[in-house]
């Protein structure tokens, strides 16, 4: 069996080593994961896409080393010792000021060593954050039927506009054509010119006649050679450019959030965190992502991101209004044959009791057949009627998931559970 050796020759920045840094990240993966988890819990919604400082305790950085111990028996005299003799046991220093317990005043002497702190880049932060995650049923079947186009070089063509004329290529072709067409005539011309010189040296009766015939043929060949055009239209070459399709994988993410009076700021914050995590996750798998924000109370409305996250409303809750609007937008702007459609709904579960059954029917009959994945996150612990209705869908629908998150620290585990790879440990 042959062994394969991979050498990483990527350029490193000044005073940096990519290989050493990657080994360090692998070695302290657990501490880094904990740091990323704490960052997710504590950051604001708009502050996700940046790096993070990670602290590694000094005790975790120690490495086993081999050293040479002192051998044999040695007699050592310590200068200044007036209290102890050989065989005495020295007691540990007492706590308190000056005793190493940390309770004294600051001093301008002595040394200490802080925990090791390093900075995770944005890419490293996202890599750790999305470790062992993958889109459910990721098929990427939406190579658009009407792809975007780009223009690219496609060699040369024999027709085109004067601005695209390639002069060097055209002159090269003209030279080759003139050489090819006149090759036989030039060879014969050279032979006749040599024959003419020989006839001039001869003195025979038929020499004048042969010389005249030779000169007539030489004149004819020279006229034929001069008749070959210097540049013919067939020699012209133009730069050719063609339009080629650019396949783009596209996805649209629908964010549905309850903004009724029962959704306080803490619950809205939980919903916001889940939406931003889902968006960041989708950006790792799709080149183009559209985001549609739908907020609802008794009525649903499509809004921009600023109003979605910050505007306040009061009143009751009719969840089906958001699902109806989502279906309408899909039909108008996002054909399932061209877009991967993902839906994420966040609510406290409190819905008008006559409306929850309709929500389940809308999801089962209208929304889920169009979606790649739909996730429902309830940001309240009590199981309301909406939760009970959605549970009926979860039993027989693979691309529908529902979870609860009642505090910020639960958003990260819930998100991982919804989108984890098959067989990955939680």
* Confidence class for position 140, pLDDT limits 50, 70, 90: very low
pTM for the model: 0.52
Give the confidence band of 326 by pLDDT, cuts at 50, 70, 90: very high
Asked if pLDDT for residue 271 goes beyond 60, the answer is: yes
Q: Specify the pLDDT at position 12.
A: 57
pLDDT given for residue 328 in this prediction: 93
Distance CA 24, CA 122 (A): 17
pLDDT at 98: 47
CA distance readout (Å), 25 to 189, 253, 258? 80, 32, 40
Q: Which residues, in sequence order, are CB contacts of 378 under 8 Å at separation 6+?
A: 346, 347, 348, 349, 384, 386, 387, 402, 403, 404, 405
Residue 101: predicted pLDDT: 46
Q: What H or E segment, with its residue span, contains residue 119?
A: strand 116-120
Q: How do residues 161-198 score in pLDDT, each as one tens digit?
A: 888 888 888 888 888 888 888 888 888 888 888 888 88
Q: What is the pLDDT of residue 329?
A: 94
Dihedral in degrees, nearest 10, Cα atoms 127, 128, 129, 133: 70
Percentage of the chain modeled with pLDDT above 90: 5
Q: In what order do the strands lie in the sheet with 400-404?
A: 300-303, 288-296, 250-258, 340-347, 373-378, 400-404
Q: Tell whether the model's pLDDT for residue 215 goes beyond 70.
A: yes
268 and 257 Cβ atoms separated by less than 8 Å: yes
Q: Are 52 and 118 in contact (CB under 8 A)?
A: no
125/357 Cα distance (integer angstroms): 41
């Amino acid at each position: 069996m042959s062994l394969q050796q991979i050498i990483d020759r990527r350029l490193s920045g000044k005073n940096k080593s990519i290989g050493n840094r990657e080994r360090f990240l692998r070695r302290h993966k657990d501490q880094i994961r904990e740091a990323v988890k704490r960052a997710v819990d504590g950051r604001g919604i708009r502050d996700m896409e940046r790096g993070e400082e990670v602290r590694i305790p000094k005790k975790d950085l120690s490495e086993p080393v081999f050293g040479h111990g002192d051998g044999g028996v040695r007699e050592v005299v310590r200068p200044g010792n007036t209290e102890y003799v050989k065989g005495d046991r020295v007691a540990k220093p007492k706590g308190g000021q000056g005793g190493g317990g940390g309770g004294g005043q600051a001093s301008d002497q002595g040394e200490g060593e802080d925990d090791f702190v390093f900075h995770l880049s944005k890419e490293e932060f996202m890599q750790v954050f999305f470790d062992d995650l993958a889109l459910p049923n990721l098929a990427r079947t939406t190579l658009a039927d009407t792809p975007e186009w780009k223009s690219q070089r496609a060699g040369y063509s024999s027709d085109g506009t004067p601005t695209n004329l390639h002069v060097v290529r055209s002159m090269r072709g003209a030279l080759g054509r003139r050489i090819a067409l006149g090759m036989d005539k030039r060879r014969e011309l050279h032979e006749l010119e040599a024959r003419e010189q020989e006839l001039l040296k001869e003195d025979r009766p038929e020499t004048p006649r042969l010389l005249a015939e030779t000169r007539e043929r030489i004149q004819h060949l020279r006229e034929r050679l001069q008749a070959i055009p210097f540049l013919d239209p067939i020699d012209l070459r133009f730069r050719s450019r063609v339009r080629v399709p650019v396949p783009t994988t596209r996805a649209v993410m629908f964010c549905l959030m309850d903004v009724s009076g029962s959704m306080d700021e803490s619950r809205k914050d939980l919903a916001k965190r889940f939406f931003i995590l889902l968006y960041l996750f989708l950006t790792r798998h799709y080149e183009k992502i559209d985001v549609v924000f739908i907020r609802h109370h008794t009525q649903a409305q499509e809004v921009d991101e600023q109003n979605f996250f910050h505007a306040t409303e009061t009143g009751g809750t009719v969840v089906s209004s958001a699902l109806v609007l989502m279906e309408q937008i899909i039909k108008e702007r996002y054909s399932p044959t061209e877009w991967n459609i993902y839906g994420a709904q966040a609510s406290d579960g409190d819905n008008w009791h006559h409306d929850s059954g309709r929500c389940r029917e809308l999801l089962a009959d209208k929304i889920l057949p169009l979606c790649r994945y739909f996730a429902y996150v309830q940001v309240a612990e009590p199981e309301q009627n909406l939760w009970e209705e959605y549970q009926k869908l979860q039993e027989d629908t693979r691309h529908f998931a529902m979870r609860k998150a009642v505090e910020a620290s639960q958003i990260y585990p819930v998100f991982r559970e919804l989108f984890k790879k098959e067989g990955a440990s939680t």
